[in-house]
Amino acid sequence: MKRLTVFLFVFISTLAKAQLAQVQNVDRIIAKIDNYYILKSEVEDMLVKAKQQNQPFTRCQALESIAVQKLLVAKAEIDSVIVEEAQVSDQLDARMNEMIRMYGSEKNIVDQFSKSIETLKAEVREQVRERLTAAKMQQKITEGTRVTPNEVRKFFNRFPTDSIPMIPTEVEVQHLVRFGKIGKAQKEELIDRLKDFKKRIENGEKFEDLAAEYSEDINSRPFGGDLGFAKRGMMTPPFEATAMRMKSGELSDIVETEFGYHLIQTLEIRGQEYRARHILLRPDYNRLDLSEPKRFLDSLRAVIVKDSLRFDQQVRLHTEDENSKYSGGAIMNYETGSTRLSLDLSMEPNLYFTVEPMKEGEITQPVNYRSPDGRTGLRLIRVSKVYPTHRASLALDFEKITEYATADKSSRTIDKWFREAIGEVFIKIDPEYQSCNLFSQQP
C-alpha cells in the first residue's frame, strides 16, 4: 500500500505540475544521463513528497534517487530491456482506478483537473514507462538473489547488541464486509440507459462507438469495450454464462454483476475461449442504500461478541469481499505477502485511524468502507494480533530479517552494477549541483 500511495502522490502531483506549467515556465534541466534529463522541479517534487512522509531527504539525495532511475532506464535501452505497452496501460489503468476510488468518481477527477481521463493518462504515460523500465532493469540485475537461513543469521549477528534495529508496532487485522445495495430508482435508470444503447445499436450505430463514449470500464473503453479472448472461468459467472451462450454478433439483455450492469456482445467463441465486448454502467456508489448492511453487521457483531463466535468463521459465511473471504478476512500487505501490517501512516489512512487505538481482539462497530474497485459498503474490523515495538530477534522476526538481508544483498549487487554501468553512459551535472558528488564519482 505504501508504494502505491507514493506512486499516486507522484502521479497526482505530476498532473498538477502539468497544469501549472501552462501558466508559468521557470523549470530547467539540472542533469543529463545519456539521453535522459532531470528537471529541477522533479527534485523539488521529491523533497515535498519526502517531507510529507517525514523522511529526512536532502537535495543531493533527491537528485541521486532520480538519477539512479534515469541510469537504470538508460542502461535498459543499451541492454534492450523493454517494457511492453500493455504493461504501461495496465499500470495507468490501475493507478487511475485508485484515483477514482480516492476522488469518488471519474467526473470528480475531470472537474479537479479540467481534462479528460485519457488526456490525464497521456500526460504521465512516459513517467510510468520510465518507472516500469527502471524496475524491470533492477529486477534483471538482482534476479536470482536469495539468502540462506545461515546468511540471515550472519546478517543479523553483524549488529552489535545495542544496535539491533527496532521493529515498529505491527498488527494483524481482519474485516467482514457488506456492500451497499442499489436502490430501485437508480437500478431502473441504469437499465433504461443500457436498453437505449441496445436499441441504438440495433438501429445502426456502432457498439464500439457507444462503448468508447459511455462505458465505465476504463480498461476496455479505449478498445470499444473489447475485452479480448478470455478462458472459461476468468470472468464473473453471470457475464461469462451470457457471453458463451450467444452467437457471434448477438446482443444480450441487461446483465447484472458485482461490477454493475452490462450490455454484452459476443464476438467469437473458440472452444473454451470466448471474445466479447461490453458497455458497463456502474451504480453511483455514493447513492447506495447502507441501511441493510448496517442492520446486518450490527446484529452479527452483537452475536459474535455475546456468544464468542470465531470471527474468521463468520467471515467465510457472511463477507461480500471475495479477496479476503477464504483467509478469514485477513487484510494483506500485498508487497510482502504478509498479514503483518505496520501500524503507521503507510497504512491506508481510514484503516490506520480506526485500528490505531484498538486493543487485540477488539471489534469495531460497522465503519464505512470503499473497496479498491470503488464499491461502497460497511465493515467490521477486528484486530487479531498486536506486535508491540521491540528489538528485532531471530525467534520473533525471522521473516522480516530475511527481507532485510535479501534487500542488503540486492543493494550490494546493484552497487556493484552501478560502478560498472557509470562508465558506459554519459553523465552531466549542472554546476549548482556539482557538490552533490553524484554516484560518488562525479568531479
pLDDT confidence bin for 7, thresholds 50/70/90: very low
Average the pLDDT over 384-389 and give the result.
Answer: 94
Distance CA 345, CA 16 (A): 23
Q: What are phi and psi of 276, to 5 degrees?
A: -140, 160
Cβ-based burial of 305 (10 A; exposed 0-12, middle 13-18, buried ≥19): exposed
Q: Map residue 104 onto helix, strand or coil.
A: coil
Spatial separation of the C-alpha atoms in residues 402 and 418, rounded to whole Å: 24
Q: Residue 43 in 3-state DSSP?
A: helix
Give SS3 for 367. strand
**What is the 8-class DSSP label of residue 329?**
T
d(CA 46, CA 352) in angstroms, rounded, equals 24
- Over range 8-24, report the average pLDDT: 47
Task: Report percent pLDDT > 90 for the chain.
Answer: 42
Backbone angles phi, psi at 364, to 5 degrees: -75, 165
pLDDT at 14: 53
SS3 for 166? strand
In terms of pLDDT, which residue wins out, 27 or 435?
A: 435
Query: How does pLDDT run across 18-77, given as a tens digit for each residue?
Result: 444 443 445 788 888 888 888 888 888 888 877 766 677 788 888 888 888 888 998 898
Which residues neighbour 308 within 8 Å (Cβ) at sequence distance 6 or greater? none
pLDDT tens-digit map of 168-206: 899 999 999 999 988 899 999 999 999 999 999 999 999
Cα within 13 Å of Cα(340), Cβ side: 14
- Phi then psi for residue 223, to 5 deg, are -110, 25
Q: How many CB atoms lie under 10 A from the CB of residue 130?
A: 18
pLDDT at position 15 is 52
Q: Which residues of 271-293 are buried (b: 16+ CB within 10 A; e: fewer)?
A: eeebbbbbbbbbbebeebebeeb
H-only helix segments in 53-116: 59-78, 85-103, 106-113
3-state secondary structure of 245: helix
Residue 22 is predicted with a pLDDT of 43
- pLDDT of amino acid 396: 85
If DSSP codes are grouped into helix, strand and coil, which group holds residue 229? strand
Strand partners, 289: 181
**pTM, two decimal places:** 0.60
DSSP 76: H
Cell numbers for 281: 454502467
Grid cell for residue 29: 534541466
Contact by Cβ (8 Å): 180, 376: yes
Write out pLDDT tens, residues 332-371: 987 777 898 999 888 888 899 999 999 999 999 999 998 8
Band (pLDDT 50/70/90 cuts) for residue 322 is confident
Give the pLDDT band (50/70/90) at residue 237: very high
The CB density around residue 405, as the number of other CB atoms within 10 Å, is: 20
Cα–Cα distances in Å, from 65 out to 4, 39, 242? 18, 13, 50
Catalogue all structural domains in the chain, each as residue range(s) with its CATH number: 2-139 (1.10.4030), 169-181+287-388 (3.10.50.40), 184-282 (3.10.50.40)
Alpha-carbon separation of residue 224 from 107, 207, 236, 411 (angstroms): 20, 7, 20, 44
Nearest by Cα to 260 from 276, 235, 283 = 283
What's the Cα-to-Cα distance from 328 to each of 2, 39, 177, 307, 324, rounded to whole Å? Answer: 23, 48, 12, 18, 7
- Evaluate whether 376 touches 285 at the Cβ level (below 8 Å): yes
